[in-house]
Amino acid sequence: MASPAPAQLQRGEPKPQKVMVAVDESECSHYALEWALRSLAPVIAPPLLVLTVQPLLPIGYVSAASFGAPPPELIKSMQERQQQLSKALIDKAKEICAQHGVSVETMIEVGDPKEMICEAAEKSKVDLLIVGSHSRGPVQRYNLVSQNFLIYVVI
C-alpha cells in the first residue's frame, strides 16, 4: 500500500520547489523513488535530485585481514567497485525517472550516509527529502522537519 503524500501537500499548502530522493541498493529506497515520481511528479520543480552515498571503505577490517597495511591495489580495487555500484544505482534511478518523464540531477557522495544525505539536502537547499524505510521498527511512517527542509519517509 502506497504511503499518502505529506500532509502539507494534501492540505494544498505551498508545494516543494526542490525534491531530493536518497537511494541505495535496498528495495525500499527504489520504492520511495517510484512513490515520489507517482505521487509528486506534478509538483516537483525540475530537476528531481537523486542522491546515493558510498559508505567509507572498511580499511580497518582490510588491515586486520591482511595482517598489516593493505596493499594499495586492494584499496584501489575496493574503491573502483564502490564507484561501479554507485554508478549502477544512479543509472537505474535515471532510467526510472526517464520512464516517468521526469528530469533528474544525480549526486554521489562518500561518507556516513546519515550525515551525507542531510548535508547534501542542506547544500542543495531542497524543500523535501524523501527516503525509504524497511518499516521493521515501531514507527511506520513519519515526517521529520529539519531546520531547512521536510524529511518524508516512505514505507
DSSP sequence for 16-74: PS-EEEE--SSHHHHHHHHHHHHHHGGGPPSSEEEEEEEPPP-HHHHHHHTTSSPPHHH
pLDDT band at 76 (very low <50, low <70, confident <90, very high): confident
The dihedral formed by the CA atoms of 29, 30, 31 and 34, expressed in degrees to the nearest 10? 130
Whole-angstrom Cα distance, residue 3 to residue 17?
Answer: 21
Whole-angstrom Cα distance, residue 107 to residue 49?
Answer: 7
Mean pLDDT of the chain: 80
Cβ atoms of residues 148 and 125 within 8 Å: yes
pLDDT digits (tens, 9 = 90+) for 44-73: 888 999 999 998 876 665 555 556 666 778
Model pTM? Answer: 0.76
Q: Which three cell numbers stand for residue 144?
A: 521529520
Sheet holding 48-54, edge to edge: 104-110, 48-54, 19-22, 128-132, 150-154, 143-145
pLDDT digits (tens, 9 = 90+) for 9-25: 555 555 557 999 999 99
Give me the residue spans of the domains in the chain: 26-42+58-104
